[in-house]
Amino acid sequence: MVRDTTIYCLECADGRYYVGQTPRGRLARRFEEHLYYGGAKWTTRFAPIKIVWKFHVRCELADEAEENAVFEIMLKRGRNSCRGGTFNVGRDVGIRGPRWLKGPYLEHWDAITAAGE
């Protein structure tokens, strides 16, 4: 049996966003975890307000889908607008970015940084 995963985006305090993934059918519970139990570093710092969107993917595609969603939000809104996937630090990052930048974040860091200015 192939199990689907839900990719979701939370609007958080101060105009921030968080993208995550959870097994299909578990989103309401995961949202409660973010609200009440410190579900992620970012949502502990910026309280979740609501679920903005969600979509389902096959489990084996979930990590890539989550990463792409985080990247797209950051590219549109800037480096400190969103967290999730491998970009999961619970703090704002400076103009140089974290030392571990890789993939699309590294390739497009100038554009991501310019988006938030």
The 3-state DSSP class for residue 16 equals strand
- Indicate if the alpha-carbon torsion angle 62, 65, 67, 69 is positive or negative: negative
**Better pLDDT: 117 or 61:** 61
pLDDT tens for each residue of 58-68? 999 999 999 99
Share of the chain above pLDDT 90, in %: 84
**Better pLDDT: 100 or 26:** 26
Average pLDDT (102-117) is 89
Cβ(77)–Cβ(55) under 8 Å?
A: no
Average pLDDT, the chain: 93
How would you list the strands of the sheet with 48-58, edge to edge? Answer: 48-58, 4-12, 16-23, 82-84
Task: Report, in this order, helix, strand and coil percent for the chain, each rounded to 5.
Answer: 40, 25, 30
Average pLDDT (92-114) is 91
Domain that holds residue 49: 4-115
Looking at the 3D structure of the chain, how many domains does it have?
Answer: 1
